Amino acid sequence: MADSDESSARVTVRTITDLARLAGVSPGTVSRALAGKSLVNTRTREKIEALAREHGFRPNQMASGLRRQKTGVIGVVIPLGHDIRQQISDSFFMTLLGHLADELTTHGYDLMLRRVVPESDPDWLDRFIGSGMIDGVIVIGQSDQFERIEDVADGYRSMVVWGNHTEGQRHCVVGTDNRLGGRMAAERLIAAGARRLAFLGDTGPMEFAARFAGAQDVAARMGLPAILPLSTHLSPDRASAEIAQHLAEHGRNIDGIFAATDTLAALCLTELRAQGLAVPDDVKLAGFDDLPIARQTVPPLTTVRQDIAAGARGLVDLLLRRLAGEATESFVLPPELVVRETA
Amino acid sequence: MADSDESSARVTVRTITDLARLAGVSPGTVSRALAGKSLVNTRTREKIEALAREHGFRPNQMASGLRRQKTGVIGVVIPLGHDIRQQISDSFFMTLLGHLADELTTHGYDLMLRRVVPESDPDWLDRFIGSGMIDGVIVIGQSDQFERIEDVADGYRSMVVWGNHTEGQRHCVVGTDNRLGGRMAAERLIAAGARRLAFLGDTGPMEFAARFAGAQDVAARMGLPAILPLSTHLSPDRASAEIAQHLAEHGRNIDGIFAATDTLAALCLTELRAQGLAVPDDVKLAGFDDLPIARQTVPPLTTVRQDIAAGARGLVDLLLRRLAGEATESFVLPPELVVRETA
DNA sequence: GTGAAAGCGCTAACAC
DNA sequence: GTGTTAGCGCTTTCAC
């Protein structure tokens, strides 16, 4: 029964006003006490805190948010492109999301997650921002929405995007230098002896396009034939079949594959084996991301590492700075080649 | 400039009152029109809708939520046990989360994600519920918080939990029949020829404990020696080392391993290979979950499948029913044995 | 069918 | 230091 001097046993205390009545003070004082504001008598504060604890009272965040015009919530939105189904459970995004949750929590923010399909809801970004529920937004992946994001960025500061950096863009982005990563992968494949390279994955999304471009840079510089693009979807089921098809068609004419992601690379490894192509002897293979799976394939995957945790930290850090009114530059993370046994 | 009959070009319209002024009606009418309420003149409604579209107006959800005492947001909380780090990026939880996001979106709810560390914040569940920000909560994983969840369940209906079902429990739970799954795994290992079984993973969490218990049921029934528990953490880095250690110690004395999750099974496969133990010839191996990785290991993993998508649907369905005031039973999903090549 | 008015629960001036 | 007051932006009686 703590140190409350009233017989306050079974009163329901839902609002700050209830609590004020119990403590014999005004709602304003309770508000100040609970918010840890300076000018409150220590005794009063302690009494209020005790009462609050005793009754399990917590201030309504909706009301507080409405009044203060800030919610303590950061929106995280994942725009899904055409390849709707699997993207959200894609390991990479999910890992990033986990780290974002960590990082935002650390800074006292909650995370509101929203998946959107821009194709069927062109207004996705404004709707989220305009909902009044969030103080800022982190967009995970530009998908095919680069222009829309650019448009919004002009009128809304509290946004940071995970994705690819393009010269002169207006939205603040955090992401790996995909082009450089693509170069690293291609260089490694070539160093391992490959000459006729293929790129496995959809070159539509900007990140992937940049990876492909980086690899092409190297092929061109080295005087090798153009890199063969082998398009796939991202969902494992469809991708497997597509990869099998590609390999049946081109498998004997290539000796190096740069997969857009580790997930695709792992799938590809399985299909290569199924078709009797030895890795790395017949075909060298490199992935991208360095997800946990990269270590566990047989043989373990040579890949280009993205530092996901650093990415999450960067996103949150930049967003909080922008909320505080600072101007911020985009933040490009360096990729890192991880040589294992496939190339 | 659409069909607004005013020169409403550059007015900022942030509130329903702004819009009302523009439309020449009262705020109440705008509210009714935008909410699709019945009694509004069609002409008035159209005018208001046009204006709203033209100015990109969206009602503030905080205010609406405060007034209506509902937010349109469902909280999803992941309690992290001792093994803090990796759990959130654990594939299983993340996949479930993805499906939950899908399912909630479909039903018009937003998702507020919160990670909590019960050990340092014993009040985690009440805090989330009491925040006023959410209409209901989905708890992902009971971790070691079974009692706390039970306590809360007595006074709060709008909660559904992913986890293990125990006879007579008071909170509404959705989850796979882990004990049955454990039996299936053990039976398969034994059918494949194993006699001296081990269980790989922490038996602390209820789900894992039930899987272990199921396997023990079978061993006892068949008159086999007790199953050897080999405890590990969940994070890949630590787990790998621990598995290596366990195998060095006991590897030659066991011929069947039931891993608590596919992630652990995949790691185990790598370590078995490293120690020169052939799968399935020397050691049979079974996992749990049937994550995508189960198909891609070499050899592909025999495992017990949990239907994650069905689980997510069940969670959302039950929660919405409870929000609507219905009484609901817990929902136990049947596991399914998937025989591949490790056992 | 629409307007006026009273709050939802909280916070921030402004008094004293 | 604390009370009083006036809203934050929206919804919903209750009139008319």
Domain spans of chain A? 2-59, 70-176+308-334, 178-305
- What integer is the mean pLDDT of B115-121? 90
Q: Which residue has the higher pLDDT, B114 or B8?
A: B114
* Chain centroid to CA B288: 16
**Would you say residue B4 has pLDDT above 60?**
no
Phi/psi for A149 (5° steps) reads -65, -40
**Would you say residue B71 has pLDDT above 90?**
yes
A102 and B91 within 8 Å at the Cβ level: the answer is: no
**Would you say residue B16 has pLDDT above 80?**
yes
Optimal mutation site among A110, A117, A237, A262, interface B, most CBs of chain B within 10 A: A110
Optimal mutation site among B15, B110, B120, interface A, most CBs of chain A within 10 A: B110
Q: Which residue has the higher pLDDT, A327 or B80?
A: A327
What is the edge-to-edge ordering of all strands in the sheet holding B73-79? A331-333, A173-176, A159-162, A136-140, A73-79, A110-116, B110-116, B73-79, B136-140, B159-162, B173-176, B331-333
Angle at A37 between CA A32 and CA A42, to 5 degrees: 85
What distance in Å separates the CA atoms of residue A338 and residue A118, rounded to the nearest whole number? 35
B292 and A236 within 8 Å at the Cβ level: the answer is: yes
Number of CB atoms found within 10 A of residue B186's CB: 28
Mean pLDDT of chain B: 92
AA identity, residue A327: A
Which of A3-7, B111-115, B225-229 shows the lowest mean pLDDT across its residues?
A3-7
**Could you tell me the fold of the domain covering A178-305?**
Rossmann fold (3.40.50)
A97 and B101 within 8 Å at the Cβ level: the answer is: no
**CATH code for A70-176+308-334?**
3.40.50.2300
Considering the segment(s) A2-59 as one domain, its CATH architecture is Orthogonal Bundle (1.10)
What distance in Å separates the CA atoms of residue B316 and residue A183, rounded to the nearest whole number? 45
CA of A183 to C1' of D7 (A): 59
Number of CB atoms found within 10 A of residue B276's CB: 8
Is the Cβ–Cβ distance between B54 and B1 less than 8 Å?
A: yes
Question: pLDDT band at B10, cuts 50/70/90?
Answer: low
User: The pTM is what?
Assistant: 0.92
Q: Which of B156, B126, B137, B165 is nearest to B78 (CA)?
A: B137
Question: pLDDT band at B82, cuts 50/70/90?
Answer: low
Whether the beta carbon of B41 falls within 7 A of nucleic chain C: the reply is: yes
Whether the beta carbon of A39 falls within 7 A of nucleic chain D: the reply is: yes
Q: Can you give the pLDDT at residue A19?
A: 96
Q: Which chain D nucleotides are covered by protein, judged by CB under 7 A?
A: 1-5, 7-13
B112 and A73 within 8 Å at the Cβ level: the answer is: yes
Q: For B315, which DSSP code?
A: H
| Residues 10-39 of A with CB within 7 A of strand C | 14-17, 27-28, 31-32, 34-35
**Would you say residue B37 has pLDDT above 50?**
yes
User: Which token pair is A243?
Assistant: 């990869």
Could you read off the pLDDT of A7-58 as tens digits, one per residue?
A: 445 678 999 999 999 999 999 999 999 998 878 899 999 999 999 999 999 9
Q: Can you give the pLDDT at residue A87?
A: 54
The yes-or-no answer to whether B2-59 and B178-305 have a common fold is no
Whether the beta carbon of A72 falls within 7 A of nucleic chain C: the reply is: no
Q: Can you give the pLDDT at residue A2?
A: 42
Q: Can you give the pLDDT at residue B83?
A: 60
> Any alpha helices (H) in A157-205, and if so which ranges?
178-191
Whether the beta carbon of B32 falls within 7 A of nucleic chain C: the reply is: yes
User: Which token pair is B302?
Assistant: 């025999």
**Would you say residue B45 has pLDDT above 80?**
yes
Long-range contacts of B81-87 (CB under 8 A, 24+ apart): B81/B118, B81/B119, B81/B143, B81/B144, B81/B204, B81/B205, B82/B119, B82/B144, B82/B204, B83/B202, B83/B233, B83/B234, B83/B235, B84/B117, B85/B235, B86/B233, B86/B234, B86/B235, B86/B236, B87/B141, B87/B234
A115 and B126 within 8 Å at the Cβ level: the answer is: no
Residues of chain A with pLDDT under 50: 1-8, 88
